[in-house]
Amino acid sequence: MDLFIQLTLTGLTNGAILALAALGFVLIFKASDVINFAQGEFLLIGAYVTFAMIAQFGLAWPLGMLLTLLIAVALGVIVERLVLRPMIGEPIISVIMVTIGLSSLLRAIVSSIWGNQPKAFPPFIPSNPVNVLGATVGEDRLWAIVIAIVMLGIFSVFFRRSREGIAMRAVADDQQAALSMGISVKKIFAWAWSIAAASAAVGGALVANIVGVGPELAGFGLRVFPVVILGGLDSIPGAVIGGVVIGLLEAYTGGYIGQGLNQVLPFIVLIVILMIRPYGLFGQEIIERV
């Protein structure tokens, strides 16, 4: 029973971080139909910039975190403007490939600044063991879940209430119509990329707080795929639920079965979902007409 609770909490933590990464991914897809293979690198950059702010420049963590978010937003805008904007109207393969090229470039930049060795992260969230229903877990994991929930809450309020959020939903629904209503689609794309980078940066900071910073954090970029396919590529609630489900699945298979099965099971789930329900649990089904 202890093991079960421990695995559940681990799964929820990972799920929360996956959800944050997936959220940005889904947002970009919703707004601009682009699959972002560099989402893992956004997370990586978030982790390293937070690391630099707190450990290298010695800033207080709220300030450091705020600066990290600003940098992430700037990164999102720059990437959209320089790399993605010229690709509007190009075939899918080009768009996929340009984000792959971007991921390679970003990873190289991170490695050339901070090197390839994993580093310990100055724990800005305490990791004291606490007792939850008889199982012992690090406090930081609980905080990660809480922070992720808060972030997701902020995003959902943003989408429902703010001007930009509503405009973004309009663009996702129908670009032409949104354009004719005077919404600047380009601005919305930039918003989507900035928010994606920011939410990934928070995810990166959280995961770095638990396991330290290192280039392998970019691996989250691939782990996002099962999450978004399960939840539906264009569904924000889907990204959250998909993240939690995949996080738990990884934790349980890792804990009860082992053999590294937790690394591959999400991808098997991905193929099964694609075969029976390609639009995922919550995604919109698109009927193709001739």
User: Which residues make up the interface to other proteins (CB under 8 A)?
Assistant: 35, 83, 86-87, 90, 92-94, 96-98, 100-109, 111-112, 222, 225-226, 229, 259-260, 263-264, 267-268, 270-271, 274-275, 278, 287, 290
Give the number of other CB atoms < 10 A from CB of residue 111.
Answer: 15
Contacts of 19 (CB under 8 A, 6+ apart): 148, 152, 227, 239, 240, 242, 243, 244, 247
CB of 25 vs other proteins, minimal distance in Å: 11
Query: What is the spatial distance between Cα 44 and Cα 200, in angstroms, rounded to a whole number?
Result: 8
The residues that bridge with 136 in the sheet, in sequence order, are 131
Query: Nearer Cβ to other proteins, position 61 or 267?
Result: 267
CB of 267 vs other proteins, minimal distance in Å: 4
Query: Nearer Cβ to other proteins, position 35 or 211?
Result: 35
CB of 229 vs other proteins, minimal distance in Å: 6
Query: Nearer Cβ to other proteins, position 96 or 130?
Result: 96
Amino acid at 3: L
CB of 256 vs other proteins, minimal distance in Å: 17
Residue 94: burial class (beta carbons within 10 Å; 0-12, 13-18, 19+): exposed
C-beta separation of 230 from 245 below 8 A:
yes
CB of 218 vs other proteins, minimal distance in Å: 11
Give CA separation, 192 vs 13, 30, 69, 199, 231, in Å: 25, 9, 14, 11, 19
Query: What is the spatial distance between Cα 39 and Cα 156, in angstroms, rounded to a whole number?
Result: 20
Query: Nearer Cβ to other proteins, position 144 or 217?
Result: 217
CB of 121 vs other proteins, minimal distance in Å: 22
Query: Nearer Cβ to other proteins, position 147 or 269?
Result: 269
User: What is the sign of the dihedral through the CA atoms of 29, 27, 124 and 46?
Assistant: positive
Query: Nearer Cβ to other proteins, position 138 or 226?
Result: 226
Torsion angle defined by CA atoms of residues 196, 18, 270 and 197, in that order, rounded to the nearest 10 degrees: 10
CB of 249 vs other proteins, minimal distance in Å: 15
CB of 96 vs other proteins, minimal distance in Å: 6
Helices marked H in 174-260 — which ranges?
175-180, 185-211, 220-231, 236-252
Query: Nearer Cβ to other proteins, position 128 or 259?
Result: 259
Query: Nearer Cβ to other proteins, position 204 or 280?
Result: 280
Query: What is the spatial distance between Cα 77 and Cα 223, in angstroms, rounded to a whole number?
Result: 24
